[in-house]
Amino acid sequence: MTATKTIEVALSTSGLGPDGRPIRIPLGAEGLASAPPGLEPELEGEHMLINIGPQHPATHGVLRLVLELDGETVVRCIPHVGYLHCGFEKIGEYRQYNQIIPWTDREDYLNSMGNNVAFVLGAERLFGVEITERCRVLRVIAMELSRIISHLVWLGTTCIDIGAFTPFLWCFQERENVYKLLEGWTGARLTTSGTRVGGMIADVPDGWTDGLRAFLSGFPKTLDQVDRMLTRNAIWVGRTVGLGVMTPEEALNYGLSGPMLRASGVAYDVRKDFPYLGYETYDFDVPVGTNGDVYDRFLVRFEELRQSVRILEQALARLPEGPVNIDDPRLILPPKHKATSEMESMIHHFKLVMEGPRPPIGECYVPIESPKGEKGYYFVSDGTAKPVRWRIRPPSYVNLSAIPRMVEGHLLSDVIAINASIDIVMGEIDR
Amino acid sequence: MSANPPTAPGAPTFAIVYPGQPGDVAPVTPTQVPHRGGPANPSVDALRARFGAAIGRHEIVWGETTVYVARDQVAAVCAWLQADPTQRYEYLSDVTAVEYRDPMRPIEVVWHLRSIAYRRFLRLKVELPKDGSALEVPSVWGVWKGADWLERECFDMFGIRFVGHPDLRRILLWEQYAEGHPLRKDFPLRGRFSRAEQLRNALAADPEARYSMEELSITDAFAQLPEDMRKRLGGGARTGE
């Protein structure tokens, strides 16, 4: 490999362009994929088949990639998924709506609270109920905290893949702080099951918002640290710029969503385009890249972390008093002391637990902007307490399906960086 | 080999845009949207004008418009919806299917389309009657590449064949899976085979069958396999269907 890269950048300088963003460093990325001809003539035309995964730390789960290599260059990539398939959708057809919520924790387990909220948003559309204002703001807080967790895990693990260890520790330290908050709220760190149709499992405990404020005051400092460490780091830039480029047309055609789509320059964010939970009333920006490469995906996700902090600050400022759950005994369990002392409440409790709430006949598809992209739940109800069909539209599944297009022509070592940039969670892909 | 254009020096490379001003889009809440009825997606009338009898009834549930399309016209309808400048459904959200508990109701194949430019959402449906005829619909892979894995999953889970898909094979389940298609209503929750039978099948599986025929053919690996293995694989021993 004689293709040279020109890296003209001092480590950790803080140069900002006129738009306030870090200046991009042009690299000789066009020379990456082409091996010089005739280096070893006897090996020319010999292709090698290699297998990455399913048990490989850099595949972020049990993903298996079969790669055909010409030297070090990937000629063809055939992904295999399904090693974690558990049949969530099938099981959901045998469960009442509230009983499905624990399954939503376990698909995209980095965004469990976001999945819980997304699920009940769809179910509430199906039931035709309107949640309380406090619940709406609390759910926004839950979703943005999940986004922060997911992006931090993505950032940390991608750093490990590319060879940086320090930001990984910073990210996971901050992630731990968010998990402490979620644990104080729902009692669980990963498998939160924090929502119910018509409300939440519980209101936030006393003093919880102070903990969130403390997190929000410290978190941007960590982000600045990571920014200084990575954004203009010569190694980081050299290993990410120009890799896995998707043009805007391609990205749309392949069904990419979330940061993958926005890094390619398509400004599509479900929170802005099809708003839910009052996202249209929050003041936040949608970062959009231009090159559609791994580096732009990093920039987009990194900026989304800052925007999530903005949203969280606004949500905290407007968090109203009042009930969290709707006042509807057909959907919300009565308090325990009432269920054990009042006839009416006991009957409601019994019917809710034994029969479950019944939505009207109908169907709905409710998408949300999960950290991975457009996540949608599609419900079909025939009027009984269990859905006829519960479909998860998994964003990282569709994003991953474009990996052959992204890695073919690149070097084997770049496959790791490109695969990391997709931000896959195999629990969601295999379901 | 994709040559990546180097970043032009001085060009703005990273932007924050506002896709819409707050308040542009009315949020859908149950108090504003009726259970049934309401204004239909304007694409329905355009579809009727363009395709006539190929467009069946439409219904509006919770503000979402569903259009029933004739089976053989789906790919043409999708191609038109994607390319027509007045429609611009450039984004395919989802391809899936629904089988109802009522055994007389047909299986429905569902496409969720999204127009980012016009902020529209449209659901297309095709009914596949359960009269013993083949479960086949045209593939929309030629319109949206994103349909690739979604159609494969739908085939895997429901056994619906997408005619024109370049590589229609199981995706979440392994290729030798012989119990059928799990999301069909006649498929029991715990599977068709007993645990003992599943274990026997797993132990008897050929380890070399973990590579597909396509992969084995890539580097002439197939030709280098031992004679008996080639015979077994070439004879289709690895496929469960």
Among A12, A85, A212, residue whose Cα is nearest residue B191: A85
Average pLDDT over residues A319-338: 88
Which of B1, B19, B62 lies nearest to residue A125, judging by beta carbons? Answer: B62
- For residue B75, the distance in angstroms to the closest alpha carbon of chain A comes to 15
Express each pLDDT in B81-112 by its tens digit: 999 888 888 899 999 999 998 888 999 999 99
Per DSSP, B164 falls in state: T
- State residue A144's pLDDT score: 93
- Return the half-sphere exposure (C-beta side, CA atoms, 13 A cut-off) of residue A31: 11
Per DSSP, A16 falls in state: B
Query: Is A401 within 8 Å of B3 when comparing Cβ atoms?
Result: no
Query: Based on the domain organization, do B133 and B63 belong to the same domain?
Result: yes
Tell which wins on pLDDT, B132 or B147. B147
Q: Is residue B9 part of a domain?
A: no
Express each pLDDT in A54-83 by its tens digit: 888 777 888 888 888 888 888 888 888 888
- Return the half-sphere exposure (C-beta side, CA atoms, 13 A cut-off) of residue B32: 6
- State residue B236's pLDDT score: 52
A427 in Cβ contact with A62 (< 8 Å): no
pLDDT at A329 over 60: yes
Among A246, A251, A248, A240, residue whose Cα is nearest residue A298: A240
Amino acid at A58: A
- State residue A139's pLDDT score: 93
pLDDT at A90 over 70: yes
Express each pLDDT in B29-42 by its tens digit: 555 677 777 778 88
Chain A residue with the nearest C-alpha to that of B64: A364
- State residue A21's pLDDT score: 53
Query: Based on the domain organization, do B78 and B197 belong to the same domain?
Result: no
Which of A19, A291, A374 lies nearest to residue B93, judging by beta carbons? Answer: A374
Query: Based on the domain organization, do B45 and B144 belong to the same domain?
Result: yes
Which of B19, B90, B174 lies nearest to residue A267, judging by beta carbons? Answer: B19
Q: Which of B171, B206, B227 is the last residue of a domain?
A: B171
- State residue A405's pLDDT score: 87
Among B32, B22, B78, B148, residue whose Cα is nearest residue A269: B22
B58 interaction partners in chain A (CB closer than 8 Å): none
CATH architecture for residues A96-326+359-430 = Orthogonal Bundle (1.10)
Query: Based on the domain organization, do B155 and B218 belong to the same domain?
Result: no
- State residue A155's pLDDT score: 92
Among A321, A310, A113, A312, residue whose Cα is nearest residue A211: A312
Q: Is residue B36 part of a domain?
A: yes
Which of B4, B121, B215 lies nearest to residue A245, judging by beta carbons? Answer: B4
- State residue B23's pLDDT score: 37
Amino acid at B108: E
Among A343, A314, A345, A310, residue whose Cα is nearest residue A330: A345
CB pairs under 8 A between A and B: 227
Q: Which of B171, B187, B220 is the last residue of a domain?
A: B171
Which A residues in the span 234-253 are in contact with B, Cβ-Cβ below 8 Å? 241-243, 245, 250, 252-253
Q: How many domains does chain B have?
A: 2
pLDDT at A317 over 90: yes
Query: Is A362 within 8 Å of B2 when comparing Cβ atoms?
Result: no
- Least confident range from A39-53, A243-257, A322-336, B208-222: namely B208-222
Q: Is residue B23 part of a domain?
A: no
Segments making up each domain of chain A, as ranges:
96-326+359-430
A392 φ, ψ (degrees, to nearest 5): -100, 125
Q: Which of B171, B195, B221 is the last residue of a domain?
A: B171
B133 Cβ contact partners less than 8 Å away, ≥ 6 residues apart: none
A429 in Cβ contact with A418 (< 8 Å): no
Express each pLDDT in A24-62 by its tens digit: 444 333 333 444 444 555 556 677 788 887 888 777 888
Query: Based on the domain organization, do B46 and B109 belong to the same domain?
Result: yes
Q: Is residue B202 part of a domain?
A: yes
Q: Is residue B45 part of a domain?
A: yes
Across all residues in chain A, what is the average pLDDT? 85
N- to C-terminal Cα separation, chain B:
37
Q: Count CB-CB contacts under 10 A for residue A389.
A: 22
Q: Is residue B11 part of a domain?
A: no
d(CA A147, CA A370): 7
Query: Based on the domain organization, do B74 and B159 belong to the same domain?
Result: yes
Average pLDDT over residues B186-204: 84
- State residue A242's pLDDT score: 83
Chain A residue with the nearest C-alpha to that of B24: A280
B83 Cβ contact partners less than 8 Å away, ≥ 6 residues apart: none
- State residue B212's pLDDT score: 64
d(CA A153, CA A371): 11
- State residue B22's pLDDT score: 40
- State residue B99's pLDDT score: 93
User: Any idea what the CATH number is for the domain that residue B48 is in?
Assistant: 3.30.460.80
d(CA B61, CA B38): 8
Tell which wins on pLDDT, B231 or B192. B192
Express each pLDDT in A157-168 by its tens digit: 999 888 888 889
Classify residue A172 by burial, with Cβ atoms within 10 Å: 0-12, 13-18, 19+: middle
Query: A65: which strand partners?
Result: A52, A79
Average pLDDT over residues A13-24: 51
Whether A330 has its CB under 8 Å from any CB of chain B: the answer is no
Average pLDDT over residues A334-355: 89
Between CA A385 and CA A389, with CA A387 as vertex, the angle to 5 degrees is 170
Q: Is residue B24 part of a domain?
A: no
Q: Is residue B159 part of a domain?
A: yes
Query: Based on the domain organization, do B116 and B206 belong to the same domain?
Result: no
Query: Based on the domain organization, do B69 and B133 belong to the same domain?
Result: yes
A218 Cβ contact partners less than 8 Å away, ≥ 6 residues apart: A177
- State residue A213's pLDDT score: 93
pLDDT at A154 over 70: yes
Per DSSP, A70 falls in state: E
List b or e across B15-31, with b for residues whose CB sees 16 or more CB atoms inside 10 angstroms: ebeebbeeeebeebbbe
Query: A314: which strand partners?
Result: none
pLDDT at B158 over 70: yes
A288 φ, ψ (degrees, to nearest 5): -135, 130
A334 in Cβ contact with A343 (< 8 Å): no
pLDDT at A202 over 70: yes
Query: Based on the domain organization, do B201 and B136 belong to the same domain?
Result: no
The structure's pTM equals 0.83
d(CA A172, CA A149): 9
Q: Which residues span the domain enclosing B104?
A: 31-171
- Least confident range from A160-174, A385-399, B140-154, B195-209: namely B195-209
- State residue B123's pLDDT score: 92
Query: B67: which strand partners?
Result: B58, B124
- State residue A38's pLDDT score: 47
Query: A374: which strand partners?
Result: A369
Query: Based on the domain organization, do B35 and B46 belong to the same domain?
Result: yes
Most confident of A12-16, A26-30, B9-13, B195-199: B195-199
Query: Based on the domain organization, do B122 and B108 belong to the same domain?
Result: yes
Query: Based on the domain organization, do B78 and B135 belong to the same domain?
Result: yes
Query: B123: which strand partners?
Result: B66, B112
- For residue B49, the distance in angstroms to the closest alpha carbon of chain A comes to 26
- Least confident range from A173-182, B6-15, B196-205: namely B6-15
Q: What is the ipTM of this complex?
A: 0.83
